[in-house]
Amino acid sequence: MKVASIGEADYGGAGMSALKLHNEFVRQGLNSKFYVNRKTVDMDSVIQIPDRLGTSAAPFKIGQYKTITTDVPFTTGLSSKCPDFLESVWQESDVVLLRWSSVSVSDFVVSRWSNKSKPLVWCLSDMAPITGGCHYSMGCDKFESYCRPCPHVGPDSVHDPFRVLNRRLKLWNKIVFVSPSKWLGDLVSSSSIGRDKDVRVIQTGVELDVFKPYDVNLQKRKYNLDPTKPVILFGAASVDDSRKGFKYLPELVNILNEYFDMKNKYSVLVIGGGSPDLDLLNCDVTVTGHIKDRHELARAYSASDITLLPYVEDNLPNVCLESFACGVPVVAFSIGGMPDVVRPGINGELASPFDVWELAHKLKMCIDNPLSKISVRKWSEKNINIADRAIEYKDLFTELKYK
C-alpha cells in the first residue's frame, strides 16, 4: 500500500509525531513517503514540497496578527505550495494522510481531494482544521457554528475566521478525521465541520527503543543535578507558550517551599525553547534549552523523578508520552488528552484544572511516595508503542480502501 503523509515540517511536536509514524510504516513494509514544507532530515523518503513557480517561502504560514487580542496562532487555509506537485502525490498514492499541514496544503486542495473516491485521512495535532483558523479555541465554542464573532481577532484584522470556516463548510466533503485524544475527537464531532464526518481516535505512539530509561543518578550528575534531591521536569517545545502553563509554576514553587516545607529540597529541570522568566522561581533551576537529539532527550527525561505538566489546553503532548516511556511519572492538570493516558497511582496523578494547590499536593504525593519507574515503563510498553499505533492506522487504511 502506498501511503503519502503530508505535513509542515519533520521537526517540532507535530512534525516528529508524523515522522516517527512514517518511519514505523516503512519498518512494517508500507510504501510510505512523508512530504513536508520544511525538510531537515537526510532521508530519501522525506520529500520537500516545492513552491509555486515564482514564489519562495510560503507567505501564509502561522501568523499572530496585530489585531488579535490574545496570543492564539491562526492559519488562513491558503498555501504557496505547488498544487500540480501535490496532485501528483495524490495520484500516486493509495491513501493520503494529512498531518499538521495548514501551510503545505490549502483548503482548495483539501476540497478537491475530499470530493474524490480515494481515502483522505487527517490526523489532527490541534483544532486548526475544524475552526476558522485558530489552533486552539481557548474555551471558545463558536467553531460549533460559524466562528462569529471571534473573541481572538479584532474587528480590523485581515484574518476573518467566519470566511475561512464558511469556505471549508462549502468545499470540504469526505474526510476521515483521526484524533490522538478523546478530548479533541469530541470537539471534532461537535464542530460544524466535523459533525457529519467519520471521526476516529488513535493515540500517538512512542519509539520505545529511543525513549527508554537510563540510570537516574548518572543522568542527574550529567546535568549537574544533586542526585540526593528529587528532580521535577517541566518541558515543552516552547516553554513560554501560554498554553503550557509556566505562569502556574511560581505559585506552585512557593506552595512547595512554604506550605510543604520543601525549600532547597528539590530541583527543577526545564527542557525546551523559549525564554520564560526563571527568576520568578524561588528554587534550584537547571535549563537545557531545546534538545534536538532524541536519545539525549531520553537521557534528560531519565534525569528526572517526576514530569510536571500544568498545561492549559493541549491534545496529547509528546513530552507526556516520552516521559512515560522513560519510566517517569507525570503530574498534570486534567485537561485535553491527559485523562486518556495518565492513570492515577500507576503512572502519575491528575489535578483539577487549574487548581495549583491540588497540583502541588499531587506533586508532593509523588515525591513522598514515588511511583515505580519500572511499572511506568511496563505500562508504556503495553499502551503507547508506536508499532501498535501504526498497525491501527494500517487497519484503518485497509478498511477505507475497500469500503
What is the residue-wise DSSP string for 165-185? HHHHHHH----EEEESSHHHH
Is 61 a residue whose pLDDT tops 70?
Answer: no
Mean pLDDT of 374-402: 96
Q: Which residue has the higher pLDDT, 171 or 151?
A: 171
Is 70 a residue whose pLDDT tops 70?
Answer: no
Give percent of the chain with pLDDT exceeding 70.
Answer: 95
CATH architecture of the domain covering 2-205+385-401 = 3-Layer(aba) Sandwich (3.40)
- pLDDT of the residue at 276: 82
Is 67 a residue whose pLDDT tops 60?
Answer: no
What is the CATH code of the structural domain delimited by 216-383? Answer: 3.40.50.2000
Asked if 292 contacts 261 with a C-beta cutoff of 8 angstroms, the reply is no
In the block, residue with C-alpha cell 496585530: 66
Q: Which residue has the higher pLDDT, 61 or 296?
A: 296
- Provide the strand spans (E) within 128-246: 176-179, 198-201, 231-238
Mean pLDDT of 351-362: 98
Q: For the ranges 127-131, 146-150, 389-393, which has the lowest average pLDDT? A: 146-150
* Average pLDDT taken over every residue of the chain: 92
Asked if 118 contacts 91 with a C-beta cutoff of 8 angstroms, the reply is no
Is 54 a residue whose pLDDT tops 70?
Answer: no
Nearest 5 degrees, angle CA 260-CA 263-CA 268?
A: 105
- pLDDT of the residue at 390: 98
2-9: strand order across its sheet: 46-48, 31-38, 2-9, 95-98, 120-123, 176-179, 198-201
- pLDDT of the residue at 69: 57
Would you tell me how many other CB atoms lie within 10 Å of the CB of residue 184? Answer: 26
Q: For the ranges 20-24, 74-78, 192-196, which has the lowest average pLDDT? A: 74-78
Asked if 199 contacts 182 with a C-beta cutoff of 8 angstroms, the reply is no
Would you tell me how many other CB atoms lie within 10 Å of the CB of residue 241? Answer: 19
The sign one gets for the Cα dihedral 118, 144, 238, 338 is: negative
Query: pLDDT for 314-336, tens place per residue?
Result: 999 999 999 999 999 999 999 99
Is 371 a residue whose pLDDT tops 50?
Answer: yes
Give first-to-last CA distance, the chain, whole Å. 15
- pLDDT range class, residue 62, cuts 50, 70, 90: very low
Mean pLDDT of 235-253: 92
Asked if 165 contacts 147 with a C-beta cutoff of 8 angstroms, the reply is yes
Locate the domains of the chain by residue range. Answer: 2-205+385-401, 216-383
- pLDDT of the residue at 65: 45
Q: Which residue has the higher pLDDT, 48 or 63?
A: 48
Same fold? 2-205+385-401, 216-383? yes
